[in-house]
Amino acid sequence: MLKAFRRLLTTLLIFILLLGGAVWWLLSYIAPDERLDMAYTPISVRDKALAIIKNLNTELVLTETDINYVIKARLMSEYASAGTNGAAVELNEDVRLDGAVFELEEDRLVARMNVTYKDRIPAQLDAVYALEWQPPNIALRPQSLAVKDIGLPLSLLEPILIPIELPEQNVVAIRDVQFEQNQIKVLFKVDVKLPF
């Protein structure tokens, strides 16, 4: 009887150690590889467009840095409840977005996001969005979501719309939007009506 009890206790202890080791491994596996934040510099696409019009240029280039700033500003305005620039964003009651970086790969946007689940479990999410021009917005449609290499359902992501705001004088209109490596080109057509 005593031998059976010792075996049971030893087996239970080994099981608890293995389970604890598995939980520790999983938490260290999904933990973010790098520290990201939500800091951004405000950018006005409208002001950039006005500067281009003044220089008689018909092409606006939004760099990867510009896109990072625009998306972070959009997320901060949509989800931050009085958050400051660089602060975390509460996506819902269980998930906090601590930081993100967005990379352009032609017609795809790759997002690396550091999140914290229930204020206890940090993880790195990798998402891929398809970029589409839907006047007057650039639409980001979710294509994949994973914690490291573990796939998650796409229903956890929502489409994101980035409006392209133009000056209100109706002098220019967007002719085309081209998605390229590390940048997005917005091509304008100038519609100047002469008084005679």
Q: Which amino acid is at 29?
A: Y
Q: Give 111-147 pLDDT, tens digit per residue.
A: 999 999 999 999 999 999 999 999 888 999 999 999 9
The secondary structure of 84-118, three-state, reads CCECCEECCCCEEEEEEEEEEECCEEEEEEEEEEC
Asked whether the predicted pLDDT for residue 31 surpasses 80, the reply is yes
Asked whether the predicted pLDDT for residue 196 surpasses 50, the reply is no
Beta carbons of 183 and 106 less than 8 angstroms apart: no
Asked whether the predicted pLDDT for residue 55 surpasses 80, the reply is no
Give start and end residues of each alpha helix (H) in the chain. 2-30, 45-54, 64-79
Dihedral of CA atoms 41, 104, 178, 61 in degrees, nearest 10, equals: 30
Per the prediction, the chain carries an average pLDDT of: 84
Answer left, alpha or beta for residue 86, where phi above 0 means left and psi between -120 and 50 means alpha. Answer: left
Work out the average pLDDT over 83-102. Answer: 82
Percent of the chain with pLDDT strictly greater than 70:
87
What are the two backbone dihedrals, phi and then psi, of residue 65, each rounded to the nearest 5 degrees? -65, -45
Min mean pLDDT across 21-30, 45-54, 96-105, 123-132 is at: 45-54
Asked whether the predicted pLDDT for residue 194 surpasses 80, the reply is no
Dihedral of CA atoms 178, 179, 181, 183 in degrees, nearest 10, equals: 80
Cα–Cα separations (whole angstroms), residue 61 to 134, 178, 184: 18, 10, 6
Q: Look-up: residue for tokens 């970086």? A: 101
pLDDT score recorded for residue 80: 65
Asked whether the predicted pLDDT for residue 81 surpasses 60, the reply is no
